[in-house]
Structures are given as C-alpha cells and as structure tokens.
Structure 1
Amino acid sequence: MASTVDLRRLRGFKGRNLLHLAVEGSCVTGRLDVCRFLVEEKGFDANSTSTEGETPIFVATDTDSRLLNGAENGVVPLLTYFLGRGGDPAAPDAKGCTPLHNAAQYGHSDAIRLLLSKGVPVDPFYHHGTPLHLAAGNGHDQVLKILLEHGADPNKLIRRVTPLLMACAGASLKCIKLLLEAGADVNFHSSPGPTMLLAAVGAGSADVVNFLLEIGADPNVHDGYGKFPIILAAAHERRKLVEILLPQTNPIPSMPDWTVDGIVNTMKNLPREMVLEPIANAKSQGKEAFANGDYGNAVDCYTRKYGAAVAAFEEALKLDPANDEIKEALRTVRSRRR
C-alpha cells in the first residue's frame, strides 16, 4: 500500500513550504487558486512559518514592486485572503522584521493601508529601522506620507539614524520635505555619526545639499570623528558639492588654500593608501550594506571611515618619524576633529 505524502512537510529555500512558494508566485500573477487549494483542501496553516519565521503574509509583502510587474496588484488580494483566514498582519520574522517593514521598503502603498487598517503598530522596532526609515531610505514618498498620517514618529532614532537621515542618504527630496513638514529636525545629530549634510554629500546629491543649506542645515558640524561635509565632498572628488558648501563653511586652518581648487587638490594630494582607499572601501561597504537592507550601517559606512585615517597616519609616523609629508598629512586630518 502506497504511503501518503504530507505536503505540509515539504520544505525548500529558507525552510519555506509549498504555501510560501505559492504566495511568491501569486504576487506576480495575482491568482489565488493555488493558495486557496493548499489552505482549504490540504490543510495548510495561514500562519505557517519558514525556518526564518516568515508567514505567508510576510512573504507576500517581501516583493519589490519596482522589479516585478503586477506585484502591487498581487499583494493586496493575497493579504486580504490570508487576513480572512486568520493570518497575523503583524507577525515578525526571526530577525524582527514585520510585514509592514517589508511593505514600506518595497513601496506597497495599498498594502500599507490595509495592514494599518488591521491595527498593526506603525513604528515596530527592527534593528534596520522602523517602516518610516525604510520608506524614506528607498524614496517611497507615498508610503511615507501614509505612515506619517497614521502617527509614525519622524524623529525616531534607531542606531543613531533618523528617517530624515535615511531620506538624505537616499537623496529623496520628496521624502525629505514630507518629514520636515511632519516636524523632523534638519540639524539633529547623534554624535558620533553622520549629519544630514554628510549623508547628502555621501549620496552625491547637489539638489539635496542645496536644499538642506537653504533651510538652515549647518555645514560646520562634523560627525564626531572630525569629518565635515566639505572635506567628504573633496575626498570623493565631488567638485560641484565643494563649490556649493564653500561659501557657508568656516575655513579649516590646516587647509592652506581655502578655495575650491585648493581644497580639492589638498585632498587629492594626500597619500592615497591613507585616505582615498579607505573612503573608496567605505563607499563599497556602504553600497553592500544598503543592498542587504542594513540601512543604518550603510549610512555610517558612507560617512564614517575617513576618521580612521588619523590612526593610519599616526602608525606611519612611528615608522618614519622624520617624514614631513606624513606629518603634514596627520595635521590635516587631525584638524577635522575640531
């Protein structure tokens, strides 16, 4: 006699079962027939979890609306169905990420409305940020607006990062303006850590840098490691940003030529292995962290690493105490801690 296979025991990637896989497909097609069959005919639990704690509702929201055609249309019917079958709209995965975080990160505005209508918390804690952080960092202004309308905190601080800092790092003027209207502080700074201007410079956005200066952002505040926006701009060889920042930045004593060319050339002439390569590595790490959803670390990587050059110069000077080039470079870098 042939044995009967319990389909509910079959597992795939991340320990997801057949229902999770069916949900992934339904996000694209918008069809619910396979999900209905598995739940209503085969006894799959609407709250069944993968080995990483993902429920069908979580999987449904974990789809980038910008990459998959019809994803937004497919998500809401799925959520409606699973909510009707007793699915938990707020259940987090093993890392603390909730369906609302997913929907905010991937721009599912209709899904955000539906989840909030079920009473889910608008600012659930997650080490990568609140849903507002994720919406701001990804430039989803419509999602951000909905979250703010439901009471999301525009000044919520997680790992030294606010939603406004995320919006600056993501170079989203629409999100920046919405957050400011909601009461975000353009000069808030959790030291050590990047300022709004440093984040915008790290993103390379002249439009955002100009706007922040117009509304009163202070270019003379460093990150706690001694790095100022104009120095970061010059280190990245972003001449346009140096031109924008120069008129409002106080002269740095160690810069012998306080002009655009002087600042850019001074940074360019510092030993590459001491300064420019750490910055390039930090930028690469920032991109990787951002791609992995580690937004707080991404912002920090984009703006932090230059301070490590101080230690490098100090070690180099121990090996070659008479080297005037190293001495001058060390004085230049140390001045940015003032």
Structure 2
Amino acid sequence: MAMDLLDSPLPLRFEQILGQDEDQWPPEARFLVAAYFGNVRRLKEIARSLDTNGRRGVGATVAATTYRGMNALHAAVGGLGNLAVCRYLVDTVGMDVNMWDTSPSKQTPLEHAVSGGNLPAVRFLLDHGADIHQENEEGATVLHLAAMKGKCDIVKLLLSRGAGIEGKSEQGTPLHFAAVKGHESTVEVLLEHHADVNKLVPSCLLTPLDAAVFASYTPCAKLLIQAGANVNDVNNSLARAAAEGLTEIIKCLLEAGADPNRPDECGRMPIELAAVYASREDVELLFPFTSPIPNVEDWSVDGIINHAKLENMQLMDDDAVKMRKSDLKQQGDEAFEKQDYTNASVLYTKALRADPSDRKMLANRSRCWLRLGDGKKALEDAVKCKRSNKNWAEAHHREGEALMMLKEYEKACEVLTRGLELDPQNDEMDKLFWEAMKLKKK
C-alpha cells in the first residue's frame, strides 16, 4: 500500500512534489530539509544566501524563513529531533515553541514532534514552555495525536507532565483514538491512567469499545471489556461483532454479560446477523444464549441460517425492497396518526431493515420512542439520524426532544441552537429551546 504523502518524511514529500534533484528545489525547501536532518551549519549557510542584502542577519533570516507554511522549528522537531538544532532555534534564535504552522494541517512544533515520534524533541519542547493543553480546531490535544499514532512512550511522557486524559474533542478522547487505530499498548497505558472506558463521543455516542469493535481490533476490545466497558451500550457492540464475524470479541462480550436478545436498530438479533454475514461458528456460539425468535420456524442452527439467508435474498430484490419499504412506511405513518406508537415503531423498524440509513424513518421512529416515554431509544435514533446528515434541522430537533426527556437540558440547548441556525422559522423548536433554557437555570 502506498504511503500517505502527509505521513511520509519531509524530504520524501518534497521529492514527490518538487522532483528528485534537490539542487533544483527552492532554497527554502532545502533550508527545511537541513533543519529536518539537524544540520545547523547547512541551515545557516542557506539562511545567509536568502539574506541577500545582509540586513536581517542569519538569526533573523532563520526565524523568518518558511516554506509551504512550515518554519525551521516545525521541520527540525518533526524530523530527526536533533537537540543541537532545537537548542539553536529556540535558545539562540528565539523561535516560538507554540507557533502554529500555516499549512493545511496547521500544527504546532509539539504536534510535529509527536507525529514524528521524536521523544527527545517532545521533552525539549515541553521543557521550553510548549503548551501541552493547546487544542486544534476540533478540540484535540497532542495527547489525542500521540494516542492516534500509537506513540506509547510519548503518551506516557505527556501524561506524566499533566496532559488531560479525556480532552474536550467532539471526535472522542485519546482512548477512542487509540482504540479505533488498534494501538493495544497505548490503550493499556491510558487505562492504567484511569481513562474513562465508557466515555461517549457527543456527536455519535460512540464509546471506546464501540470504536474498537467498529474497527475490528480484537486485542483492544478485549482490554476495554476487561477494564469494565459497558457491553450493553447504545450501539450494541454484540450485534456489530456478530455482523462482522468477530468471533473472539463475541466470546468476550458474552462472558461479560452482553445481551444476545437485544436487536440492532433494524430489529435484527445478533444471531440473525451472524447467520447472514458471518460464520456457522458464530451462530453456534450465540445459539445457547438466544431466546427463540417467533418468525423462525425451525429453531436450530441450520434453521436460523436458512431463515436469515432466505430473508436476505428477498431484500436483495431492489423493486421488492422499495415497495416493501414504502408500504411499511405508510402503515407506520397511519399507526402514528392513530396514536398507536408501539405498532408504528415496529413498522418503522421493519422498513429500516430495507434501508437502515433512511434518516426520515429514523426521525419518525425517534418520535415514536418519545411518545412511548423511552428517551434513551429516542436519543439513539436521533443521533443516528443526525450522523447521516449533520445539516438536517429535524435531526437536531428530535435529539433536542430526547435530551429534554432525559433532563440533559444543557446539551439540549446546544443541539437546539444548532437546529435553529438551520431552520430559524421553526416555532416548535424555538419554543423547546426556551423551555430548555429555563429548566437549565433551575
């Protein structure tokens, strides 16, 4: 697999952009490569050539020279991390250890050092005042970055220097980042430092366990389960593991008390998902723990597999799927109008089997759960609905309603504020927002 250009070493990136003949590169590019390799003599030599009138001086030229948004310090700490060049740039030239680069990645020197895996450079920058708590535009810190890259020693150093174990990023905590990338050792370190194993990502309600299961990283999932992860969380990790054929994770989840009789968002039991998408071994594994499903006539391993495959074949007929979905939606709407919310939720669930990502259907089912007084299920559907389209006002409206039912008034205000930005004329949502504001203050 080809190396991602942004993750490749700086000299290689320049080769791919500028060609292999370094003599033909702009002097600023050669300047950054000298910094990357820690060649102070070469760095000064190029700086003198750039200071054509000799007015600024070498030091000022070194400090001011950039290429593609990066300065010498970004290149040095992101390269070999040579401490001699770091000392020259910071102690002698006086370069700012917290200055963002102006490239699309927009990283600080500390982030460059973490990305490069340069522990000595990270330590040097921290000793010289680098801000360990500085956040990027998504709210992620250098600890998030180190966890995502699997830089275990750097994670330990950052934690020893007081880095926040959870962070404020809406994309997740460092533990989420390590789990979704499959960095087992880093997950272990974060858990040893008491990272919250059940922390939810606000934008999609993912826990670290969900992240590991979604990415199919069995060792990380096992560590999280052993650390006390909630095996019956919002996203139904057992159903996901069954659909992906993650046998070892299924075993761990069952041993930890995961509910095999809890359906996914389309009403399918884990054993049904295993029968369609995975292997006979997983069906056999789930069978002793699963209660008989009424519409499966032959309650045996073979009977379940045959039933699931037949049902899946029927769903593969596009015309039949569209007709079935349309009919079920209409029946669901009619049941909702009659205030038969239980039947409406069942019908919407059946329709979602044909199209699990139908945002309107998810919003409708969320309304059913609200009428039935189940705020948790209403929130699950609203979040899935918003995940499919973050700019749909109705998804924010339904999430706001669910949060209100769960008495999460502050979060409801945030969600409804965004919803009103998307649909300023929505009087019903506006009324709900002011109600949330009032309750929040109590």
Return the letter of the residue paired with 1:54.
Q
Q: What is the aligned counterpart of 2:98 among 44, 47, 68?
A: 47
Match of 2:71 in 1: 17
Match of 1:36 in 2: 87
Deviation at 1:228, TM superposition (A): 2.8
Contact 1:253 1:335 in 2 (8 A): no
Match of 1:315 in 2: 326
Deviation at 1:144, TM superposition (A): 2.2
* Distance in 1, Cα, partners of 2:173 & 2:191: 12
Contact 2:244 2:278 in 1 (8 A): no
Deviation at 1:210, TM superposition (A): 1.8
Match of 1:60 in 2: 113
Deviation at 1:331, TM superposition (A): 11
Aligned residues: 277
Q: What is the aligned counterpart of 1:167 among 194, 203, 212?
A: 212
Match of 1:253 in 2: 294
Pair 246,312 (structure 1): closer, same or farther in 2 beyond 3 Å: farther
Q: What is the aligned counterpart of 1:272 among 308, 316, 331?
A: 316
Query: Once structures 1 and 2 are overlaid, which stretch shifts more, 240-249 or 1-10?
Result: 1-10
Deviation at 1:46, TM superposition (A): 0.8
Q: What is the aligned counterpart of 2:127 among 63, 81, 84?
A: 84
| SS in structure 2 of the partner of residue 270 of structure 1 | helix
Match of 2:142 in 1: 99
Any idea what the Cα deviations from partners look like across 1:159-197, whole Å, max 9, x if unmatched?
31112222333444443343344332222x22xxx2121
Match of 2:239 in 1: 198
Q: What is the aligned counterpart of 1:263 among 283, 298, 307?
A: 307
Match of 2:338 in 1: none
Deviation at 1:252, TM superposition (A): 3.2
Answer with 1 or 2: which has the greater Rg: 2
Deviation at 1:271, TM superposition (A): 3.7
Return the letter of the residue paired with 1:195.
N
Contact 1:58 1:92 in 2 (8 A): no
Pair 125,312 (structure 1): closer, same or farther in 2 beyond 3 Å: farther
Query: Once structures 1 and 2 are overlaid, which stretch shifts more, 2-11 or 208-217?
Result: 2-11
Return the letter of the residue paired with 2:79.
G
* 1:184 and 2:195 are equivalent in the alignment: no
Match of 1:303 in 2: none
Deviation at 1:12, TM superposition (A): 4.5
Deviation at 1:53, TM superposition (A): 4.4
Pair 267,59 (structure 1): closer, same or farther in 2 beyond 3 Å: farther
Return the letter of the residue paired with 2:306.
G
* Distance in 2, Cα, partners of 1:40 & 1:273: 70
Match of 1:217 in 2: 258
Task: Give 5+ residue unaligned stretches, structure 2.
Answer: 1-51, 330-346, 354-364, 366-442
Match of 1:278 in 2: none
The alignment yields a C-alpha RMSD, in angstroms, of: 3.5
Pair 126,203 (structure 1): closer, same or farther in 2 beyond 3 Å: farther
Deviation at 1:18, TM superposition (A): 3.0
Q: What is the aligned counterpart of 1:126 among 153, 169, 187?
A: 169
Deviation at 1:203, TM superposition (A): 4.1
Return the letter of the residue paired with 2:245.
G
Pair 95,256 (structure 1): closer, same or farther in 2 beyond 3 Å: same
| Sequence identity (%) | 39
| SS in structure 1 of the partner of residue 79 of structure 2 | helix
* Distance in 2, Cα, partners of 1:331 & 1:83: 55
* Distance in 2, Cα, partners of 1:264 & 1:45: 62
Return the letter of the residue paired with 2:170.
H
* Distance in 2, Cα, partners of 1:315 & 1:146: 50
Any idea what the Cα deviations from partners look like across 1:123-155, whole Å, max 9, x if unmatched?
112122101112222333332232223221111
Deviation at 1:92, TM superposition (A): 1.6
* Distance in 2, Cα, partners of 1:149 & 1:37: 37
Contact 2:275 2:305 in 1 (8 A): no
Any idea what the Cα deviations from partners look like across 1:38-79, whole Å, max 9, x if unmatched?
33343321111123542111122235xxxxxxx4xxx21011
Contact 1:132 1:144 in 2 (8 A): yes
Contact 1:62 1:99 in 2 (8 A): no
Pair 260,25 (structure 1): closer, same or farther in 2 beyond 3 Å: same
Return the letter of the residue paired with 1:103.
A
Task: Give 5+ residue unaligned stretches, structure 1.
Answer: 64-70, 276-308, 319-329
Pair 213,274 (structure 1): closer, same or farther in 2 beyond 3 Å: farther
What does 1:227-242 align with in structure 2 at a 5 Å threshold?
Answer: 227-242=268-283
Contact 1:252 1:335 in 2 (8 A): no
Deviation at 1:274, TM superposition (A): 4.7
Contact 1:239 1:264 in 2 (8 A): no
* Distance in 2, Cα, partners of 1:237 & 1:246: 14
| SS in structure 2 of the partner of residue 87 of structure 1 | coil
Deviation at 1:31, TM superposition (A): 2.9
Return the letter of the residue paired with 1:58.
E
| SS in structure 1 of the partner of residue 121 of structure 2 | helix
Pair 10,24 (structure 1): closer, same or farther in 2 beyond 3 Å: same
